[in-house]
Chain A
Amino acid sequence: MTDQVGANEAAAAQVCSFLQRRREQIAQRWADASLFRTVFTLSREEAVEACKAVVDALADVALSGRPEDIAAPAFGTVRDQLGRMAASRARAGFTPAQISEEVAALRAPVVELLRGEFTDSSEATAQEGVLALTVLMGSLRLVVMETALSAGEELIARQRLQLLEVATPVIKLWEGIVAVPLIGTLDSARSQVVMESLLEAIVAQRAQYAILDITGVPTVDSLVAQHLMKTVAAARLMGAECIVSGIRPAIAQTIVHLGIDLGTILTRAGLADALAYALAQQGIEVSAHRMARASTR
């Protein structure tokens, strides 16, 4: 057992010294690999430098004697670089699996170099060395994979935020009247975005009336109701009046059932009713008579 550990450590140390010695050659070979070449398009020199940084990190990991440790601090130093590469590949439409394949392709040139060193050495030492290097390259592959996945998560989070904004357009219905037609489930984050964009629109449009239309909202729980009430209260503080429209019978029942008091909130059956109310409050009359008269004239 102790012998085995000793042998492993010897192999790791061997790999470390190999990586340090052949740093330049490895970097030159890797710079032409698709992973580096496609990311560092500006100059080959830049790619070579990036490769050297990765080689240095691998040497450090090998020196620690634990080539299988993907949490090794040495990997941390190249995580940024790896992250940039992975993100660039992901943007180019590569899946994490494909990126992983590209990293795997880096193994062959190094192993070849290492084998070349062992022509005189005993078979066992060569095997140990190659094995240690393989484990090390496997760890690198995992680290890149992990970085690629977390980059994907960041992308999803960013898109989710963009979607939040896209999904809540504030529309100017009339001079001084803005409306948000809410569609889909309202969670806490989205309610916050709705509240902020509606209040911003009130200022920007100098809107005295703001309509929150919840026709497209499938369910209203106490949290959503609370957010609606907060939005109404905030609008009132700013000097605008909020009207909630489109409360469907099922939702009305839920609200009553939950014991939520929407009594202080101005409600209307539909968006049109809410608009008619806001227009009437501003002294604007929508009349069918005038139209009829105009057509008979």
Chain B
Amino acid sequence: MPASRDVTAARVAIGSDTDLAWVRQQVRQAAAGLGFSLVQQTKLITAASELARNTLIHGGGGYMEITPCPQGTAPGLRLSFVDSGPGIRNVEQAMADGYTSGGGLGLGLSGAKRLVHEFLLDTCPGRGTTVTITAWATVVPSARPEAT
């Protein structure tokens, strides 16, 4: 088993594009500490980057909350992206591939959803949006030296 470092809950403010880099770094550190594989880490960081950018651009800034969330023996991470911006009026439309209101490729929400195990969108027009994603690491146990 890879040595998993202690990962504690933390909150990261999202107010500028420098903060996006900070979000990515925090998520990488936590995911690596919990033993996520390189591909699993990359997927989670990419999803976090998409959602943090949404928080910044559409929500006018906010914060990310990062919480360890193990399931059985599998370590996991839960990330919440919270803003108190205008909210999303048409959730179905916002979740569709290719829909964009911010000049991106329109893959933010739908793409992020495909990169994680759980995706929860909570929005209220005029009061803000919270997107919560969760991913679990499939731990590949290392071969035991005594096994022949």
Contact = CB atoms under 8 A, between A and B. Distances in A.
A and B touch in the complex (CB under 8 A): yes
A91 B143 CA distance: 14
A162 B143 contact: yes
A158 B146 contact: no
Interface in A16-74: none
A173 interface: no
Contacts of A91: 146-147
B141 A161 contact: yes
Contacts, number: 10
The SS class assigned to the A binding surface is: helix
Contact of A154 (B140, B141, B147): B141
Contacts of B141: 154, 157-158, 161
Range class of the A interface residue count: under 10
A161 B39 contact: no
A85 to B, nearest CB: 15
Contacts of B39: 196
Contacts of A162: 143
Interface in A89-129: 91
B17 to A, nearest CB: 24
B138 to A, nearest CB: 8
Interface string B120-148: 00000000000000000000110100110
Contacts of B146: 91
A161 B140 contact: yes
A154 B147 CA distance: 14
A162 B143 CA distance: 8
A72 to B, nearest CB: 21
A91 B39 CA distance: 32
A61 B91 CA distance: 53
A157 B141 CA distance: 9
Interface of A: 91, 154, 157-158, 161-162, 196
Given A154-B141, A196-B39, 5 more contacts: A91-B146, A158-B141, A161-B140, A161-B141, A162-B143
10 contacts: A91-B146, A91-B147, A154-B141, A157-B141, A158-B141, A158-B143, A161-B140, A161-B141, A162-B143, A196-B39
